Amino acid sequence: MSPGWTSAEQPVVATVTGLARELADPIRLTVLQLLAHEGPHGMTQLADILGVSPARLGNHLAKLRTAGLVVGEQSGRHVTYRLKDPAVTAVLDVLADYAGGALPLPSATAAPERLCYDHAAGRLGVALLDQLLADRALRRPAGGGDALELGPAAGKVLPRFGIDVGALAATRRKVATSCVDRTLRRPHLGGALGHEILTWFRAEDLVAVAVDDDGRTLTLRPGGTARLAELIPRLGEVRS
């Protein structure tokens, strides 16, 4: 005899009550809203937007994964989360209509220019990687992954950024990496090359690291904007 509609073992009842349980938590509800209406996000980006610690958010994401509502996709050291079933978006929209309007979404407050560890992130870091790939100074390896290789034009292009290609190739650190940007959700330049170029930017007075609570805000110097635009034409194409 199959379980009746009042039984939690009934498959449809179990699915509906399970979803309702997750939607009853404001943090998990907002995570689902963000993934449904703004696309995949990294955990650090979600934590910044929601104003909660990564550890606390991690517990909520684990519950959403267990419930089969989100999936995490690994890219190097980073995990990007997305909805497992796009049909959840329709459920959220129906609930919003029932409540009399769209559910509110918090907005990201991170600056367009900032630091990620010891390299530039935000618009500058993303545009820099785009430019070096387009100019064939870097290339993605055939096997994939986050590590990047020096391209055929590295010896011509990288000295423009103050880089000694021979010394760079001899470093023990990864020469260059594709690091997922938490604000733009696109890769920016990391690794030894990312660090060395940022060091050169600062030495040339093109950028400055602002003093704030976490020391991660990067500021373009007034006299450096035009020169950066010459060095990185793609900077004008990246939108925050």
pTM given for the model: 0.58
Determine the pLDDT at residue 8. 58
pLDDT tens, residue by residue, 98-130: 777 666 666 555 556 788 878 998 889 999 999
Overall size of the chain counted in residues? 240
**What is the architecture, at CATH level 2, of domain 11-99?**
Orthogonal Bundle (1.10)
Q: What percent of the chain has pLDDT over 90?
A: 32
How high is the mean pLDDT of the chain? 83
Least confident piece of the model among 85-89, 149-153, 179-183, 204-208: 179-183
pLDDT tens, residue by residue, 203-212: 999 998 875 5
How many other C-beta atoms can be found within 10 angstroms of the C-beta atom of residue 239? Answer: 8
Q: Which amino acid is at 18?
A: G
Among all chains, which residue has been given the structure tokens 């035009």?
Answer: 226
Q: What percent of the chain has pLDDT over 70?
A: 86
User: Phi and psi for 191 in degrees, rounded to 5?
Assistant: 80, -170
Spans of all domains in the chain: 11-99, 113-237
Task: Tell me whether residue 218 is exposed, middle or buried, using C-beta atoms within 10 angstroms of its C-beta: 0 to 12, 13 to 18, 19 or more.
Answer: buried
β-bridge partners, 188: 179
- For residues 187 and 122, the answer to whether their CB atoms sit within 8 Å is no
pLDDT exceeds cutoff 90 at 199: yes
> Average pLDDT, stretch 170-174?
87
pLDDT exceeds cutoff 90 at 202: yes
Least confident piece of the model among 21-30, 49-58, 223-232: 49-58
| 7 vs 177, higher pLDDT | 177
Q: Which two tokens stand for residue 157?
A: 């292009």
- For residues 48 and 86, the answer to whether their CB atoms sit within 8 Å is no
pLDDT exceeds cutoff 80 at 94: yes
Band (pLDDT 50/70/90 cuts) for residue 1 is: very low
pLDDT tens, residue by residue, 177-190: 998 777 777 889 99
Least confident piece of the model among 1-15, 23-37, 52-66, 183-197: 1-15
Determine the pLDDT at residue 217. 73
> Average pLDDT, stretch 41-57?
79
Determine the pLDDT at residue 96. 78
